[in-house]
Each structure stands twice: as structure tokens, then as C-alpha cells.
């Protein structure tokens, strides 16, 4: 394997190499970092031979294309969307590059330094190469090297990434809203600028901070789920963000991504450094969207998730069963039922604290409600532990109800503007986590809560976006910083809690999947993907979620029917199979389940435990996407070395007499024989790939099945 980073000093060309990809750039004669290549591997000599784009004649009306630079700046003859835009104290906006050396703190990290020839600004482009997973991380650091006057940073993206010139480009991304997150969209990319963004202060339900691009030309058509080359980027940031695509008529495409949305600025003080979060870039040369997803999952599992090798337990959550009306008695009853089913982690959701009888009061007062827990939470924690389960607790540390002791004592702790009403959403306001005292308070309450009650697991929720995002008495008068400092403190409270309690596991939740991104995945153990627990809707949400994020983090519960969100009544088995294709949980009111349902649930949980190592840690193949209700959708998981595989198939509305075609399995050893653990039947890998597996779906509505094959 060649070096991760190679350098040709004569041409100032850099080549970054991973197992399957190459990335090249050059600092040109004016000191501008120029993009050369992102795609398949090259040798250094080949990278050196690449011409810089746009060196030929161009008319006086054409600026430098964004796709030509490693970070598009505002200044000179550039008319595309700037990834870096600053304003110096005298009003000058144009930024000029001047190369100022490089560092390689380790063999896989490259820092390219630039100094402005006149103003006191040092810009560093950071590159971290992950040779084994094909990911290249990029970020930007801006340092005010002067002694006077702030520099106003109007936009600081982490990086600009450029694709090779192609005739056509297509964008895959995920949009959504509450209870309908991660809806995958795949559409031709229009010419001009396309902006994906969140202005909510969080990653958001509405858009995911990643983009997947494929390209077509006369030589090669579009990628699909199984074949073709694909480029992608994901931003590791849990606040507002912006991802700007710029496609020009001369077939160039650039993508810039960074924290903060339009109009959020950073005033850089003398001596200060502003470091952007990393954007992760991943190109896969073959294998299409499925191959790209597996590459993302492999990277996130290997480099990002804490305890990635741990198998997530089967969880019970009380929310849909008891809502806010939790008591020691009803939770103990649910816990007893859950334990009997084989549940391993019992989580009490909202309602256990302060004056929280509904969503009008109590948020911020993190002491147990004595009317429901007269002796505190310890008796419930002890009971759950006695039943052999881990004990989990819901919290929403960033929020406060105006009707709370905390708000009465600290009305200045919320985001607000002095002359504006404080917009309440779900009767709550956002605590200003950018304030060090607020973050400190949250950490001390949580760490005490965990220690005093023997809490094994926290579900950290956040149920509204920002509004009136001000901090009027911010000591430095630079209120916009709260958009960044809020997120940094959210991350650091999570980091501190994990350090305080190494056995503590954390679920990320924001009204379902409103805050999931690689930075959240680095600090939590699983994600509550959506408040929509309808088993059919969930298949669509899971299809979008798994484009980038691994199954090992994708929590799903089996809840009651009719479903609380959709009113749909889907049989228990289908509901289980849908949830079993992720990290299985149960969220129904078990005290009302019939004995036959409890028995079936117990059996399905046992079946899940027998296959979950494959589901949670295996490679995912999305064999047939969820689409119309009369087609089979199917996913498959394969362990390393193709030793075991699990497939799920769902058919909501079979057509009378028409049997679905056999399911052709992927990723298996063609010469090996596989035994079906349920029927004992033996199948050659080649036969499963060529002819496929008869799914034996019952010919009734909401048919579903799970197949587990082990190599003999």
C-alpha cells in the first residue's frame, strides 16, 4: 500500500491515497490550493501529470470555477458560492492565498498553511486520510494572527470537494419532517446552486447533512444500488449547517459543506482560532449506492462509534404505553412483562420528574416527582436490575418549561432577544447551552442523576428547534458564537458524562431523528430514528437512514395497534420483522397484550437474539427497496467471510395467485453451502445468487419473513 500522503515538492503536488481511491491537489504558482483529482488511485507521477483546470484562455466574463479550488474563497475573479468569506476591519472582503508551508503531524494527516499577504489571517486546510476505509476528512482552521480588530468570518465551510467533469450528475439526499425522517430522494442535479441546509440550530428532521452524487456520461450510465461509482460527503456537526452544490454549464461540480447556516457569523478576536468541524469525503469506485453505504458503515463502525463491537441489547421504552403518567407501580408492571419477554434494557421515558404531568410543566427540574416516586427512582432502578435488565432514563437537558422552578430562578438562561417574545414550542424554551454555567449545570445534574440512581442508559431528547437565538448579556458581545458554542457544549457534556461513567450508554433522540450526524454517532450508542413507529413507514425511513448511518445505531420499537401516529393496524409479526431489521426494541403497553401476543413476542425476541450479531455487525445489502405495497421489499445482512446471512422480506399486500420472484442473495460464498436454520434446507451460495431463495411468504396481507442461513 503506498503512503497515505505523498508530495512532489517541484510541482507542489500532493497525493492522498486510500485502499481504493486517490485525491490530488496542487498549490499553483500564485499560492492557490487547486483541486486536481478525486476518484480512483493514481501514482504520484500520474498526479503530477494532471493539468490544472481552467488554465486555458477564458473570457473576461468567466470567473474561477468553484470546482478548481480546494476551498473557494471570496475574492478576485470568483463568482461562485464562497466556502470562505471574511471581512477585515477596514471593510476589505477579498481573501488572497499565500502558501506558508505545511506540516505532517503524523503519516496520515496533512496541514497546509496559508497567510494573507496583508491582513493578519492564517488559514489552514486540514486533511486526514483513512487508508483502510477510503474516507478523507477535511477541515479548515482560521487564526487571527494580529493584535487589533476582529476579523469577521461570514462563512467558513470545512472544505470544498470537487467531482471530475461529467455530462450529467445526480444528487441523492434525505429530506423529511417530524415522524417522516430520512426520506431518500434521488434526482438530476440542476445547473446553478443547490443548497441543502438546516437553520434549526440542530442537524434537523428536514435535511440530512450529507449528499451522495453519481455521474453519467457517454461511457458510463448512472450508478444503481449494486453498481457504479459514487461520491459522497457527510458533515460531522450537530447544529445548523449548509451544504452547497454548484454545477456549471461546463460540467463542473463542487460541493462545499460547513457548520452554521447563512447569516451566522464568527467574530475572530486577535489570537483566536476558529476550527471547523470535519467533513468526511468518501468515494467508492464500484458497487453503487449499496457499496457506498457499506463503506460508510465500515468507516463509522471502525473509526467513529464508541464500542462499535458491542451488541445492542433488546430495549423496552415506556413512552407509547404510559405517556407522561409514569409511576413506580405501572413501570414495575411493564418491567416485569418486559423481562419475561427477554428484554434486556428497560427505559422509563418522559414524565418522571418535577411537575411533569403533561408537556406544560417541569422540564428543567430533574428531581423525581414524589407523587409517582415517593422514595425517588432507586426502587424502580433496583427492581429493574433485580429483573435482570439494565435501567435507562429519559432526559431532555437542553430544555425548560416556563412553568418550572428552573425557569423561575433563571429566566436569563434561555435563548432570547431582549425585545422579542420568547416563542414556545411544545410549551418549552431552549436553554442556552453555549453558556458555560448552563452546560456546567446540565453536566452536574446528569452525572448526579446517573450516579445516585444506578442509571445504565440515558435517552437524551431535544424536542424543539431554536428560536430567538440570542444571548443579550454575552460577555464578549459576539452573540452569534452561540450557534457554535452551543453545539460544542452539547458534545462536551456528552463526552464528560461518558468519561464519568464508562458503563453508561446513551441514546440520541430529538423528537425522533432530528439530530443525527457523524458527531452525534461519535458520542452515543444508538439513535431513536423516528417517532413514527408504524412498521411500514419505518421501512422507508430505515432505507434513508442506512444510506450513510450503520444499522448498529438504528433503534426501532414494536408498538401497539392501531399505531399511534398512522392509525394503521399491522400484524405483530410484520411489526417485529420491521424492527428486527435494526436494533430491536418494544414500546407497546404490554399489560394489554393478549397471552398469545406475549408468547409470539417472546419467541420473536429469542429469534432476534439468535441473529442480531449478523444484523447489527454484518454488511447490509438493500436487496429490494420499499416501494408500493404490492411489491416485496427485502434487506440482507452478511457477516465477515460470508459465514452467516440473515434476510428479511416484507409484502404488505400480496396479489392473489402471484408468487413473488425468488430473492437473489448477495455477498455469499458461491462455492459454500448454507443451511437454513429454520427448515434445515441446504443451498449453494451460487444457487442463492443465481436463482435466489423462495421466501415462502404467507399469502395474506402484511406478510413478512426472516431467513437465517449458516455456512456448513
- Cell 400484524 found at: 571
Catalytic residue among 157, 480, 517, 531: 531
Q: Which residues, 6 or more positions from 674, have their beta carbon under 8 angstroms from its beta carbon?
A: 645, 668, 682, 683, 684, 685, 688, 709, 710, 711, 712
Tell me how far the alpha carbon of residue 562 is from its chain's centroid: 30
Could you say which of 509, 529, 579, 604 contacts ligand DGJ (CB under 6 A)? 509
Q: What is the 3-state secondary structure (H, E, C) of 534-565?
A: CHHHHHHHHHHHCCCCCHHHEEEEECCCCCCC
| Residue nearest to ligand DGJ as judged by C-beta position | 350
Contact of 353 with 366, CB cutoff 8 Å: yes
132 is catalytic: no
Residue 394 or 466 with smaller CB distance to ligand DGJ: 394
461 binding ligand DGJ? (CB under 6 A): yes
Sole binder of ligand DGJ in the list 75, 511, 550, 667 (CB under 6 A): 511
In whole angstroms, how close is the CB of 365 to ligand DGJ at the nearest point? 15
- Span near ligand DGJ by CB under 6 A; candidates 81-89, 507-515, 516-524, 535-543: 507-515
CA distance 605 to 583: 11
In the bound state with ligand DGJ, the residue whose beta carbon lies nearer, of 158 and 559, is: 559
Q: Applying CB under 6 A, does 398 fall inside the site for ligand DGJ?
A: no
Q: Residue 548 in contact with residue 293, Cβ under 8 Å?
A: yes
Q: How far is the CB of 394 from ligand DGJ (least distance, A)?
A: 5
Least distance from C-beta 524 to ligand DGJ, angstroms?
14
Element (H, E) at 110: strand 109-115
Among 69, 157, 350, 644, binds ligand DGJ (CB under 6 A): 350
Q: How far apart are CB 318 and ligand DGJ at their closest, in Å?
A: 9
Interaction pattern, residues 71-110, with ligand DGJ; x per rule: CB under 6 A: ----------------------------------------
Closest CB to ligand DGJ among residues 246, 459: 459
User: Cell numbers of 163, please?
Assistant: 467531482
DSSP-derived 3-state class of residue 637: strand
Cell of residue 33, nine digits? 490550493
Q: Considering the complex, what minimum distance in angstroms separates the CB of residue 353 from ligand DGJ?
A: 12
Site size toward ligand DGJ, by CB under 6 A:
11
The least distance separating ligand DGJ from the CB of residue 238, rounded to whole angstroms, comes to 16
Nearest CA to 142 among 119, 161, 160?
119
Q: Is 463 in the site for ligand DGJ (CB under 6 A)?
A: yes
Residue that is written with C-alpha cell 501529470 in the block:
49
Cβ distance to ligand DGJ smaller for residue 177 or 195 = 177
Q: What minimum distance in Å lies between the beta carbon of 223 and ligand DGJ?
A: 34
Report which of 29, 35, 2 is spatially closest to residue 18, judged by C-alpha positions.
Answer: 2
Q: How far is the CB of 316 from ligand DGJ (least distance, A)?
A: 13
Task: Kindly report the three-state secondary structure assignment for every residue of 177-224.
Answer: ECCEEEEEEEEECCCEEEEEEECCCCCCCCECCEEEEEEEECCECCCC
The C-alpha atoms of residue 18 and residue 129 are separated, in whole angstroms, by 7
Burial 521-555 (b: 16+ CB within 10 A, else e): bbbbbbbbbbbbbbbbbbbbbbbbbbbbbbbbbbb
Q: Are 25 and 70 in contact (CB under 8 A)?
A: yes
Residue with cell 424492527: 579
CA-based nearest residue to 186, from 292, 38, 299, 300: 292
349 binds ligand DGJ (CB under 6 A): yes
Chosen residue from 38, 346, 394, 549 binding ligand DGJ by CB under 6 A: 394
Check residue 576 for interaction with ligand DGJ (CB under 6 A): no
Q: Of the listed pieces 196-204, 504-512, 544-552, 633-641, which binds ligand DGJ according to CB under 6 A? A: 504-512
Question: Rule CB under 6 A: which of 257-316 touch ligand DGJ?
Answer: none
Annotated active-site residue 309? The verdict is no
β-pairing verdict for 619-624 and 633-638? antiparallel
Q: CA 241 to CA 204: how far, in whole Å?
A: 9
Residue 512 beta carbon to ligand DGJ: minimum distance, rounded to whole angstroms: 5
Residue 504 to residue 456: CA distance in whole angstroms: 5
Contact pattern for ligand DGJ over residues 522 through 561, marking x by CB under 6 A: ------x--x------------------------------
Grouping H, G, I as helix, E, B as strand and the rest as coil, residue 124 is: strand
Q: Which stretch binds ligand DGJ (CB under 6 A): 374-382, 465-473, 506-514, 602-610?
A: 506-514
**From 64-72, 211-219, 478-486, 508-516, span contacting ligand DGJ (CB under 6 A):** 508-516
Nearest to ligand DGJ of 80, 368 (CB atom): 368
- Choosing from 116, 461, 537, 619, the catalytic residue is 461
x/- map, 419-458, ligand DGJ, by CB under 6 A: ----------------------------------------
The x, y and z cell numbers of residue 685, run together, are: 451460495
Binding site for ligand DGJ (CB under 6 A): 319, 349-350, 394, 461, 463, 509, 511-512, 528, 531
Residues known to be catalytic: 461, 531
Amino acid at each position: 500500500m503506498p503512503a497515505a500522503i505523498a508530495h512532489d515538492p517541484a510541482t507542489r503536488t500532493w497525493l492522498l491515497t486510500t485502499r481504493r481511491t486517490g485525491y490530488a491537489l496542487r498549490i499553483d504558482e500564485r499560492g492557490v490550493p487547486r483541486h486536481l483529482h478525486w476518484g480512483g488511485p493514481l501514482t504520484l507521477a500520474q498526479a503530477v501529470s494532471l493539468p490544472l483546470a481552467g488554465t486555458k484562455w477564458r473570457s473576461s466574463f468567466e470567473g474561477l470555477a468553484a470546482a478548481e479550488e480546494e476551498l473557494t474563497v471570496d475574492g478576485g475573479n470568483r463568482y461562485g458560492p464562497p466556502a470562505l468569506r471574511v471581512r477585515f476591519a477596514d471593510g476589505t472582503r477579498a481573501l488572497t492565498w499565500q502558501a506558508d508551508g505545511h506540516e505532517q503531524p503524523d503519516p496520515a494527516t496533512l496541514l497546509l498553511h496559508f497567510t494573507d499577504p496583508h491582513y493578519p489571517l492564517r488559514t489552514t486546510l486540514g486533511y486526514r486520510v483513512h487508508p483502510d476505509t477510503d474516507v478523507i476528512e477535511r477541515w479548515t482552521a482560521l487564526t487571527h494572527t494580529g493584535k487589533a480588530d476582529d476579523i469577521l468570518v461570514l462563512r467558513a465551510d470545512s472544505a470544498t470537494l470537487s467531482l471530475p467533469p461529467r455530462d450529467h450528475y445526480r444528487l441523492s439526499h434525505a429530506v423529511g419532517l417530524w415522524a417522516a425522517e430520512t426520506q431518500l430522494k434521488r434526482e438530476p442535479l440542476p445547473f446553478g446552486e443547490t443548497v441543502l441546509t438546516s437553520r434549526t440550530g440542530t442537524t434537523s428532521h428536514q435535511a440530512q447533512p450529507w449528499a451522495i452524487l453519481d455521474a453519467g456520461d457517454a461511457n458510463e450510465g448512472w450508478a444503481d444500488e449494486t453498481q457504479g461509482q459514487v461520491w459522497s460527503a457527510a458533515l460531522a456537526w450537530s447544529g445548523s449547517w449548509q451544504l452547497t452544490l454548484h454545477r456549471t454549464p461546463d460540467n463542473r461540480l463542487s460541493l462545499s459543506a460547513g457548520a452554521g447556516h447563512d447569516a451566522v457569523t464568527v467574530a475572530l478576536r486577535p489570537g483566536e482560532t476558529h476550527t471547523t468541524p470535519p467533513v468526511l469525503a468518501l468515494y467508492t469506485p464500484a458497487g453503487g449506492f449499496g457499496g457506498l453505504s457499506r463503506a460508510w458503515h465500515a468507516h463509522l463502525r471502525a473509526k467513529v462509534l464508541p464500542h462499535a463491537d458491542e451488541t445492542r441489547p433488546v430495549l423496552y421504552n415506556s413512552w407509547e404505553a404510559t405517556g407522561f403518567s409514569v409511576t413506580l407501580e405501572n413501570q414495575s408492571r411493564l418491567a416485569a412483562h418486559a423481562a419475561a419477554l427477554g428484554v434486556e434494557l428497560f427505559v422509563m421515558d418522559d414524565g418522571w420528574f418535577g411537575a411533569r404531568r403533561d408537556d406544560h410543566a417541569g422540564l428543567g427540574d430533574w428531581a423525581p416527582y414524589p407523587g409517582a416516586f415517593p422514595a425517588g427512582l432507586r426502587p424502580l432502578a433496583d427492581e429493574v436490575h433485580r429483573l435482570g435488565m439494565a435501567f435507562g432514563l429519559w432526559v431532555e437537558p437542553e430544555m425548560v418549561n416556563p412553568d418550572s422552578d428552573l425557569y423561575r430562578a433563571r429566566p436569563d438562561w434561555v435563548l432570547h432577544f431582549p425585545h422579542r417574545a420568547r416563542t414556545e414550542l411544545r410549551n418549552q424554551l431552549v436553554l442556552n447551552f453555549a453558556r458555560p454555567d448552563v452546560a456546567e449545570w446540565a453536566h452536574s445534574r446528569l452525572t448526579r442523576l446517573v450516579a445516585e440512581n444506578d442509571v445504565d442508559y440515558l435517552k437524551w431528547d431535544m424536542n424543539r428547534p431554536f428560536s430567538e437565538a440570542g444571548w443579550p448579556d454575552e460577555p464578549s458581545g459576539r452573540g452569534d458564537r452561540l450557534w457554535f458554542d452551543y453545539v460544542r457544549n452539547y458534545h462536551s457534556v456528552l463526552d464528560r458524562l461518558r468519561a464519568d461513567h464508562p458503563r453508561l450508554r446513551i441514546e440520541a433522540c430529538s423528537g425522533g431523528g432530528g439530530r443525527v450526524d457523524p458527531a452525534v454517532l461519535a458520542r452515543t450508542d444508538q439513535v431513536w430514528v423516528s417517532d413514527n413507529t408504524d412498521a411500514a413507514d419505518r421501512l422507508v425511513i430505515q432505507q434513508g437512514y442506512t444510506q450513510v448511518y450503520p444499522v448498529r445505531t438504528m433503534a426501532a420499537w414494536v408498538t401497539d395497534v392501531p399505531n399511534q401516529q398512522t392509525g394503521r393496524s399491522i400484524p405483530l409479526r410484520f411489526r417485529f420483522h420491521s424492527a428486527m431489521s435494526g436494533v430491536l426494541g418494544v414500546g407497546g403497553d404490554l399489560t394489554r397484550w393478549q397471552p398469545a401476543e406475549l408468547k409470539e413476542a417472546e419467541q420473536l425476541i429469542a429469534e432476534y437474539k439468535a441473529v442480531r450479531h449478523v444484523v447489527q455487525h454484518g454488511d447490509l445489502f438493500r436487496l429490494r427497496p420499499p416501494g408500493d405495497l404490492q411489491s416485496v421489499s427485502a434487506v440482507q445482512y452478511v457477516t465477515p467471510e460470508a459465514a452467516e446471512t440473515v434476510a428479511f422480506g416484507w409484502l404488505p399486500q400480496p396479489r392473489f395467485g402471484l408468487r413473488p420472484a425468488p430473492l437473489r442473495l448477495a455477498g455469499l460464498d458461491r462455492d459454500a453451502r448454507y443451511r437454513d436454520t429454520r427448515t434445515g434446507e441446504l443451498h449453494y451460495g451460487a444457487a442463492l445468487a443465481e436463482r435466489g431463495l423462495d421466501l415462502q411468504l404467507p399469502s395474506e396481507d402484511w406478510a413478512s419473513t426472516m431467513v437465517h442461513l449458516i455456512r456448513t
